[in-house]
Amino acid sequence: MKFFNLYIRYRLYLGIIFLVAAIAVNYFTGFWPSFILYLIAVVSIFSHFFFGPLRLIQEYMESGDMEGAEKILNSVQFPALLFKPIRSVYYTLKGNIAMMKQDYDGAEKHMKKGIDLGSGSSLMQGAEGASLLQMGMLALQKNNFKQAESYIRQALRKGLPDKENQAAAYLQMCSIMMNKREFRAAKDFFKKAKALKPTTSQIVDQIKQMEKYISRMPG
């Protein structure tokens, strides 16, 4: 695993080195002796631009090193060359990091790109739903309740990756329904969120706080 990560980190430079070596061998001895060097060079350079270094981000994300993750993302000089599913993940991660830095305009721009690229891919449905949920939360922060409701409903239709995200979506819908004074719908969404029994402390606290208001609502 470590060897593979090292290869990913330096494969462009390795590709160039192997390409120069292949040209030299080709010049002095012929094409066939240099074929394997050409092959390694082409695979290394091709994979650098079309697959990118996103695999390296995992170790930074797991350790909470967002600066390291951002450096890896910023090392992608030509994101338009990435394969479509990988490009979608790239823009989604860019949006997540921008959101953590409270750059909400940048987060919205990147997440929209990720969502557009992820549409229609069954492999990306969970990530697409999570991005739509975050877009809904961004809209709520801007007090755009209509847009927030649209995004969160789309997120629920697309599917979310786990019960924590599902509970968060239902709680946001509950808040939106309360704002619209549609109390019966608000109670239904609250029940769905609570039934999932989320364990994330932030969501658990939101349920406890919201329960105080739900019990007083008519309907």
pTM comes to 0.76
Residue type at 18 in one-letter notation: F
Residue 83: which residues within 8 A CB-CB, separation 6 or more?
50, 51
Instruction: Per-residue pLDDT tens, the chain, 219 aa: give them.
Output: 688 888 999 999 999 999 999 999 999 999 999 999 999 999 999 999 999 998 898 888 777 788 999 999 999 999 999 998 899 889 988 998 888 888 888 988 998 898 888 654 444 556 778 889 999 999 998 899 999 999 999 999 989 989 999 999 999 999 999 999 999 999 999 999 999 999 999 999 999 999 988 888 876
pLDDT, mean over the chain: 90
